[in-house]
Amino acid sequence: MIAALCPGQGSQTPGMLAPWLELPGASERLGAWSEAAELDLVALGTTADADTIRDTAVAQPLIVAASLLSYRTLASEVGDVVGLVAGHSVGELSAAAVAGVLDDAQAIALVAARGRAMARAATLAPSGMSAVVGGDPDEVLAAITAAGLHAANVNGGGQVVAAGGTAELEALAAAPPTRARVIPLPVAGAFHTPYMDAARDEFAAAVHAVTARDPRLPLLSNADGGMMPADGAAVLERLLAQVTAPVRWDLCQATLGESGATALIELAPGGVLTGLAKRALRGTPAVAIRTPEDLDDALALVRATPAPTTDEERA
């Protein structure tokens, strides 16, 4: 069974949409999605510099657009071959579209609203995020809590992201856990923590205006690594709660290993999640799609992997 992985914030790079625009239909899709996002995704994804696309309100729609472009292109070649889908943080919006809970325009409109809300919330108090790499997992979590911070992302493979006030992050960096490194991340605020309460409240209006469909594919939740509900409205509530809740990607990877996933395809702009999978899901074939040139490798992996044929096999 093939699992599709949808990357999160931080995976964006300048010009990342440019090669996709050379493909048939991509320009039309991005034009429609730009209207949904109220952003010029074409310009932002082709000519904007790194500082511009680091803005949360820009980065999140760009990442989801790249993921959906790569997925639709792949599906146009081989059809519906994915048996399970998971997204990291904002990647859950991409995953919801792949699973059929949202259409592409809905996903882009929602992620744009999410990005704007989170960007505004980040201005309310000095905050940020730092990766804590290495060290004993229990000691790392204890040190984050002791510093008055939150474990916003537990990614597995010896990586936890601490989030909270800038002063507390600086103190953690000055006295890191034993055998661990603290690396500041270039993000605007403490995402997936109570610092985003205002963002969750603002995002709620956009979420509750959407009519969702029930997922047609098993969809993993960042909350606990388990399967999302089989009800579209309930999935949307999970996506809303995720704004302030930790991302437990370690648990998502555990479920991927237990679910019978025999191959992984990380949608554009890929690389981070397949890198984590090399440690947590050793031996599982994986392809990261970064540009259209990677589609041949993804197609080869699809053709080498038997597709699920029944609902039971998909689950």
Catalytic residue among 11, 70, 89, 259: 89
H/E element, 183: strand 180-184
Catalytic annotation on 150? no
Closest CA to 85 of 214, 192, 227: 227
Residue 190 and residue 129 in contact, taking contact as beta carbons nearer than 8 Å: yes
Strand segments (E) across 112-166? 127-134, 150-156, 159-165
Instruction: Report how far residue 142's alpha carbon sits from residue 42's, in angstroms, rounded to the nearest whole number.
Output: 44
Catalytic annotation on 127? no
Other C-beta atoms closer than 10 Å to the C-beta of 285 total 14
Catalytic residue among 94, 130, 150, 192: 192
279-280-282-286 Cα dihedral, nearest 10 degrees: -90
Structure letter (DSSP) for residue 47? T
Catalogue the active-site residues: 89, 192
